[in-house]
Structure 1
Amino acid sequence: MSAPDAPATLAVESAPEADSTPDVETAIGDLQTHLNLIFARTRTLWRESAARIAPDLQVGGYKLLTFIERAGTASAHELAERFEMDKSVISRQVRMLEELGLLESRPDERDGRLRVLSATPTAREALSELRRDHSVRLHTVMAELSPEEIRAASKVFRLLSEV
């Protein structure tokens, strides 16, 4: 779950050829309501996950750490671009992650002026444990759905991610 914060609401513009019957409008309204609930639950899950890694870890730091861990390495410049954050915010979060023993920094081999950031073994293990727990939760929730229903839900999320 290493993406920038989702919007509080999702605006959906109707395509000219889209069916705008009351049933479709009701279904889209229900979808928007449930997406907003998912976004709220995601923010709560980020807070809970950050606290499990380290009590003082902020959500922003957690998201940076998960991105760095999945990518293998990253620079502060890459993080600022990816998360659309000011470099000073990135610097503070990186410093906190280093102080918590979750992030290592070393000079870039190609350009010694740059720093390469990577997750520590402690961070990698903690994130791996979180992912296992999250996977168990997801499997438990999805157990009542058929594979076809899960594929349909996945298609909806893929289409929404392309908007």
Structure 2
Amino acid sequence: MAQTPDIDDLAAGLYGGIGLLARRIRHLQAPGDLSLPERSALARLDRGGPNTAAELARAEQITSQAMGTTLSALEERGFVERRPDPHDGRRVIMSVTEAGVEILRHKRDARAQQLAKALGEQFTVSELETLRAAAPLIERLGESL
């Protein structure tokens, strides 16, 4: 029977490893690229569909004011657009534009290609299978925080 892993050790290991990966990916950002909050908000709109700024702020665990600033910057660049809520005229719904989808796809591709290169050069088939199985779990962990 397999022994249950020490949760504190596992948490510390994941925190360190994911933190390192996030920092390295952040350094791949070139001038003019989306900031981390912009990328995150845009990706959430792309995955989840149109939403209000307040709902996006709650999902990202930031203030409504910070999300408003992020969305304004994205709107100025033509990556999101605002429309009145058809069911409640007091609310504004934000959605990703074609340009927003394209910039996300391009950034995903560039970063994914860099990750794929590292994976292909540095990891065994068995390790790749382990990472493939862990990827949805890591995403679920991030969503639960």
Per the shorter chain, which TM-score range?
0.7 to 0.9
Identity %: 24
CA distance in 2, matches of 1:143, 1:88: 41
RMSD value, Cα = 3.1
Q: TM-score, normalised by structure 1?
A: 0.66
Q: Is 1:43 aligned with 2:20?
A: no
1:31: how far off?
6.5
Gaps of 5+ in 2: none
Q: Please state which structure has a larger fraction of its residues in helix.
A: 2
Task: Kindly name which structure, 1 or 2, has the bigger radius of gyration based on alpha carbons.
Answer: 1
Gaps of 5+ in 1: 1-15, 20-24
1:159: how far off?
5.2
Q: TM-score, normalised by structure 2?
A: 0.73
CA pair 93-28 structure 1, distance change in 2 beyond 3 A: closer
CA pair 158-101 structure 1, distance change in 2 beyond 3 A: closer
Q: Identify the residue that residue 149 of structure 1 maps to in structure 2.
A: 127
Q: Is 1:73 aligned with 2:50?
A: yes
Shifted more, 27-36 versus 65-74: the winner is 27-36
Superposed CA deviations along residues 130-155 of structure 1, whole A, max 9, x for unmatched, are 12222222221121334432121244
Q: How does 1:54-65 map to 2 (within 5 A)?
A: 58-65=35-42
Q: How many residues align?
A: 136
Contact residue 102 and residue 119 of structure 1 kept, 8 A: yes
Contact residue 50 and residue 95 of structure 2 kept, 8 A: yes
1:107: how far off?
0.8
Contact residue 74 and residue 117 of structure 1 kept, 8 A: yes
